[in-house]
A and B are shown apart, each in its own frame.
Chain A
Amino acid sequence: MKIFWYRVKRDLLLAARSRNEWLNPVLFFIIVTSLFPLGIGPEVNTLQTIAPGVIWVSALLATLLSLDSVFRSDFLDGSLEQMLLSPYPASLLVLAKILAHWLTTGVPLILLSPLLAVFMHIPLTTIPLLMLTLLLGTPILSLIGTIGAALTVGLRRGGVLISLLVLPLYIPVLIFASSAVATHAMGLSVEAHLSLLGGLLFFALALAPLAAASALRIAME
């Protein structure tokens, strides 16, 4: 367990020293979402209808943008070889990477979402729920995305391929999360949506580190 937390800390330290890598997706999220009110016009009803979808699609694309860098630098400087040759289970070390990725990409998105929700005229009472769906959903995006990043790490231009691999798996998250927000804004119960999201999260948490670890082994051969 010590090695797990040590690796998370180390990745966060690295993120603090090279800000571009995690700031770019966050800026992308802000820019895309804030362009919609400007492009569509300040009509409250229209914005309210599309708001959950827009925020979630931007969050999803922002995560996608950040995936290529999860293992890229480790691959280039040889740290990935050392990681796979460590006596600890590779899936544990991969999980540490995923946690660090979520803390640098997912968490900033969650924290910024209330501001963007106000831009998009989402009712104030719905904002906590929007944050809750992001809290459940963004870890799933990081978990599944890491599998794609692991599979494409050996390729020189893996970026496009990651999107093709990962996007179909992101769609259920997108559907349940954005419709939860829309449903709540209409005043209906969203328990079913949230339990489905929670279920997806635990499913991904159990399988993604194992899948990503074996994908890495194959990619490094």
Chain B
Amino acid sequence: MESGVFKASNLACYRGEEPLFQHVNIELGDGDILEVAGENGSGKTSLLRILCGLSPPDDGEVSWRGQPLCEVRNNFFLEMLYVGHQNGLKDDLTPLENLALDVLHSEQPSQITPVEALEKLQLRHKNHVLCRSLSAGQKRRVALARLLLKPSKLWVLDEPINALDKAGRVAIKELIQQHSQEGGITIYTTHFPLELKGAPQVMTLS
């Protein structure tokens, strides 16, 4: 078990003059899970965008395998999977057409095909329907099917269980637990604790 694969030290983010958060330190190793909690507007999404490399922190540093993120961007992106607030799906494409792009984004071929991934998330009969006509929860499932399709060490998930029904929440919970057992790292935000086995680290932004 390797520790300190993903580190963030002394992160700060400002909105104008006001600090959104300051002095945030994170250290995660193989199999770790971090739950980021906090009220609406406490900066959860901003923190996640900094951690996944979309925006630079106003202060502090994020490092991946001991090297600053800005120097190892491409390697980091190969091993990182971000599912944001928005699903990143095209309404005018079918779930399969949407996911075909994510398959191309990974270096190693994934263990399962897009069809099987959608089947696992109970979306099989929707393979050839345009995403436009799917419900919010179904779209969320398509976006989360990426977790199965792009083998990644680090998952950064912004409110993954948003819009999901009970079965969907259980499926995502199991995916995160399995990922952790295989040595993967997961960071997610949520308003409803996922109640994972083996208490994850919890960080509360205020």
Residues of A bordering B, CB below 8 Å: 2-3, 6-7, 10, 13-14, 17-18, 73, 76-79, 81-82, 84-88, 220-221
Complex CA gap A15/B102 in Å reads 20
For residue B116, CB closer than 8 A to chain A, the reply is no
Question: For chain B, what secondary structure do more than half of its interface residues adopt (helix, strand, loop), or is it mixed?
Answer: loop
The answer to whether A82 touches B88, judged by C-beta atoms less than 8 angstroms apart, is yes
Chain B 85-103, CB within 8 Å of chain A: the 1/0 string?
Answer: 1111111110001001110
The answer to whether A81 touches B104, judged by C-beta atoms less than 8 angstroms apart, is no
The answer to whether B82 touches A82, judged by C-beta atoms less than 8 angstroms apart, is yes
Complex CA gap A76/B101 in Å reads 18
For residue B183, CB closer than 8 A to chain A, the reply is no
The answer to whether B56 touches A86, judged by C-beta atoms less than 8 angstroms apart, is no
The answer to whether A85 touches B87, judged by C-beta atoms less than 8 angstroms apart, is no
Residues of B bordering A, CB below 8 Å: 52-56, 74-75, 77-78, 80, 82, 84-93, 97, 100-102, 104-105, 107, 130
Contacts of A78 in B (CB 8 A): 84-89
The answer to whether B74 touches A220, judged by C-beta atoms less than 8 angstroms apart, is no
The answer to whether A14 touches B74, judged by C-beta atoms less than 8 angstroms apart, is no
Contacts of A88 in B (CB 8 A): 105
6 A-B contacts (beta carbon < 8 Å): A14-B92, A18-B92, A77-B87, A78-B88, A81-B88, A85-B82
The answer to whether A87 touches B105, judged by C-beta atoms less than 8 angstroms apart, is yes
Partner of A79 from B53, B54, B85, B88 at Cβ < 8 Å = B88
Contacts of A2 in B (CB 8 A): 104
The answer to whether A79 touches B90, judged by C-beta atoms less than 8 angstroms apart, is yes
The answer to whether B84 touches A81, judged by C-beta atoms less than 8 angstroms apart, is yes
Contacts of A82 in B (CB 8 A): 82, 88, 102
Complex CA gap A23/B55 in Å reads 35
Contacts of A86 in B (CB 8 A): 77, 105
The answer to whether B97 touches A13, judged by C-beta atoms less than 8 angstroms apart, is yes
Partner of A221 from B54, B74, B104 at Cβ < 8 Å = B54
Complex CA gap A87/B152 in Å reads 12
Additional pairs, 10, CB under 8 Å, beyond known A14-B92, A73-B90: A2-B104, A10-B97, A14-B90, A77-B89, A78-B85, A85-B52, A86-B105, A87-B75, A87-B78, A87-B107
Contacts of B55 in A (CB 8 A): 220-221
The answer to whether B101 touches A85, judged by C-beta atoms less than 8 angstroms apart, is no
The answer to whether B54 touches A77, judged by C-beta atoms less than 8 angstroms apart, is no
Complex CA gap A13/B77 in Å reads 27
Question: Closest chain A residue to B53 by CB distance?
Answer: A85
Nearest-neighbour CB distance to chain A for B70, whole angstroms, equals: 11
Nearest-neighbour CB distance to chain B for A150, whole angstroms, equals: 15
The answer to whether B90 touches A77, judged by C-beta atoms less than 8 angstroms apart, is yes
Give the most central of A17, A73, A81: most B CB within 10 Å.
A81
Complex CA gap A151/B75 in Å reads 27
